[in-house]
Amino acid sequence: MEYLSTTTLDIMKRREFLKYMGLGTAAVALDSCTPESVKKESTSNKELRGKMLQNYPGVGILGYGCMRWPQKRNEQGRNVVDQEEVNRLVDFALEHGVNYYDTAPSYIGGECERITSEALNRHPRESWLLATKLSAFGNTTYDGCVTMYRRSMEIFKTDYIDYYLLHSVPNENDLNNRFARIGIMDFLLKERELGHIRNLGFSFHGNKEGFDELMVLHDKYRWDFVQIQMNYIDWENAGGRNAPANYLYAELDKREIPIIIMEPLRGGALADIPAQVADQLKEREPERSIASWAFRFVGSFPRVKCALSGMTYMEHLQDILETFMDFQKLDEEENKLLLDIADQMVNYPLVNCTTCNYCMPCPYGINIPGIFAFYNDNVIAGTYVRSKEQKNYNRARRKYLLAYNEAISTVRQADHCISCRRCERECPQNIRIADELRRIDRYIESLKRETLE
């Protein structure tokens, strides 16, 4: 079976961090609208106490990213989404104050909205906030975009969308080509005026120059919110050509634009960090999970309206809920510790992949996210072979090569990349995918030929 993993992985000075953390606001409880029959079932999982943090009234700061719902094998042996388990997760989340659900027409092979709707529509409409996207790419048309928008409302059986996003907009030129030139921006502004869109915004991956262009457009479009990638690694050390999160946060904060956070765990990488780094956090707070530190980081910023997490399993959901209920903001010393750890993490030879799968399918069959996940997981686990001089080198070399061939089928390995770079146009992390595959392939070859220095 092919390798899949959820553990892949001078703008603002650090002393300015506390300025942006502010004094925060008191947590406010969300009224649960979960049916009594559901409550009895879901509360048996684990007793959670406290109130969900809210930086903005009516919106729990923990939001559900719906791109990675749990799967199971069907009768034909294929992986399919486990709808019953999705329902159970949503019931438990709603009961404990998670009311923001982030979807898109393009997620899970086009099935994300239907799956999420089935779970949410078992509850009153006023108990959940719907976020979905205009996932229109390439040669967009007015009719195509309107159809996608109407289809989302039809699937969710609603006449309004709480948070509607232009999906993955890197700059003004992209926004104009995909939306403005065909009249869709005028259409969306009218829909917002009519109340069919409660909040209009965009999700962003890109550089500072592109973000500045989109901020200038705030005067024209009045963005109600913006979704950015933010975590304690990307705060100062965003990968590829992406703008660091501290710059994005500062620009949004000074315009008082609410922020939705994606990738607070950087695709799961910050839940499973190298042992030498993790030990520093465990020494300070032995009872806290490693993942909880990442959520405390984003939750400490008052402009953050909601932080999304793709909680595939109940234990993930419960752990993160514990962090945000009876929430403890980072103090200055803890913030410094995390940013020091971020600097250490940058020195690890990891690929900045979040396993979003936007690069797939590869026209040549390469399992891009699987290769990166396997490589990253071995670096994190300490099974990455670094040198001939290391202890048990021959044993470690053989074990690594055998595991690689078992995890990634031969015809889908890195040596089959021809550097067409089609995948790089789709990567929101701006990873130079062909270069990274070549680097990994050279590493594998050095193990095979025993030429590793």
Whether the pLDDT of residue 129 is over 80: the answer is yes
175 with 169: CB under 8 angstroms?
yes
Q: Do 302 and 220 share a domain, yes or no?
A: yes
Dihedral angle, C-alpha 102, 105, 111, 114, nearest 10 °: 70
Q: Do 403 and 278 share a domain, yes or no?
A: no
Q: Do 21 and 163 share a domain, yes or no?
A: yes
Phi, psi of 287, deg, nearest 5: -85, -15
Distance CA 422, CA 424 (A): 5
Distance CA 103, CA 59 (A): 16
Cβ neighbours, 10 Å, residue 4: 16
Handedness of CA 355, 359, 360, 365 (dihedral sign): negative
Q: Do 341 and 290 share a domain, yes or no?
A: yes
153 with 161: CB under 8 angstroms?
yes
Whether the pLDDT of residue 401 is over 50: the answer is yes
Q: Do 122 and 234 share a domain, yes or no?
A: yes
**Distance between terminal CA atoms of the chain?**
32
Whether the pLDDT of residue 25 is over 80: the answer is no
Cβ neighbours, 10 Å, residue 3: 19
- pLDDT category at 272 given cuts 50, 70, 90 is confident
Q: Does the residue 355 lie in any domain? A: no
Q: Does the residue 199 lie in any domain? A: yes
What token pair was written down for 385?
């072979």
The CA-based diameter of the chain, rounded to the nearest angstrom, is 69
Whether the pLDDT of residue 71 is over 70: the answer is yes
Strand partners, 131: 102, 163
Q: Does the residue 68 lie in any domain? A: yes
**pLDDT in the model for residue 37:** 34
Q: Do 76 and 170 share a domain, yes or no?
A: yes
356 with 428: CB under 8 angstroms?
yes
Q: Do 324 and 399 share a domain, yes or no?
A: no
Q: Does the residue 270 lie in any domain? A: yes
Q: Does the residue 356 lie in any domain? A: no
Q: Does the residue 429 lie in any domain? A: yes
- pLDDT category at 378 given cuts 50, 70, 90 is confident
Q: Do 395 and 276 share a domain, yes or no?
A: no
Distance CA 81, CA 85 (A): 9
203 with 259: CB under 8 angstroms?
no
- Can you tell me the mean pLDDT for 91-108? 97
pLDDT in tens, 27-57: 323 333 333 333 333 334 456 767 899 999 9
As for how many domains the chain has, the answer is 2
Distance CA 446, CA 444 (A): 5
Q: Do 246 and 176 share a domain, yes or no?
A: yes
- pLDDT category at 451 given cuts 50, 70, 90 is confident
The domain spanning residue 106 has which CATH number?
3.20.20.100
pLDDT in tens, 308-323: 999 999 999 999 999 9
Please identify, among 311, 346, 381, the residue that sits at the C-terminal boundary of a domain. 346
Q: Does the residue 363 lie in any domain? A: no
Q: Is 245 helix (H, G, I), strand (E, B) or coil?
A: helix
Cα distances from 171 to residues 120, 191, 215, in angstroms, run: 33, 23, 10
Q: Which residues contact 386 (CB under 8 A, 6 or more apart)?
A: none
Q: Does the residue 269 lie in any domain? A: yes
Q: Do 372 and 324 share a domain, yes or no?
A: no
Name the average pLDDT for the chain.
Answer: 87
Please identify, among 314, 346, 378, the residue that sits at the C-terminal boundary of a domain. 346
Distance CA 414, CA 440 (A): 7
Phi, psi of 394, deg, nearest 5: -60, -40
Among the listed ranges 13-17, 97-101, 265-269, 275-279, which one has the minimum average pLDDT value?
A: 13-17
Q: Do 292 and 430 share a domain, yes or no?
A: no
Cβ neighbours, 10 Å, residue 29: 12
List, in sequence order, the alpha helices (H) in 217-359.
Answer: 218-221, 234-237, 245-254, 275-284, 290-299, 314-324, 332-346
Whether the pLDDT of residue 155 is over 70: the answer is yes
2 with 409: CB under 8 angstroms?
yes
Cα distances from 386 to residues 73, 429, 449, 450, in angstroms, run: 37, 26, 15, 12
**pLDDT in the model for residue 39:** 36
**Cis, peptide link before residue 124, omega less than 30° from 0:** no
Among the listed ranges 146-155, 166-175, 383-392, which one has the minimum average pLDDT value?
A: 383-392
What token pair was written down for 20?
């942006």
**pLDDT in the model for residue 355:** 85
Would you list the DSSP string of 149-212?
Answer: HHHHHHHTT-S-EEEEEESS--SHHHHHHHTGGGTHHHHHHHHHHHTSEEEEEEE--S-HHHHH
Identify the domain containing residue 416 by its residue range: 368-448
Handedness of CA 66, 68, 70, 74 (dihedral sign): positive
Rg, Å, the chain Cα set:
22
pLDDT in tens, 182-214: 999 999 999 999 999 999 999 999 999 999 999
pTM of the model: 0.80
**pLDDT in the model for residue 46:** 55
Distance CA 310, CA 66 (A): 6
In terms of average pLDDT, the best of 188-192, 395-399, 410-414 is 188-192
Q: Do 335 and 373 share a domain, yes or no?
A: no
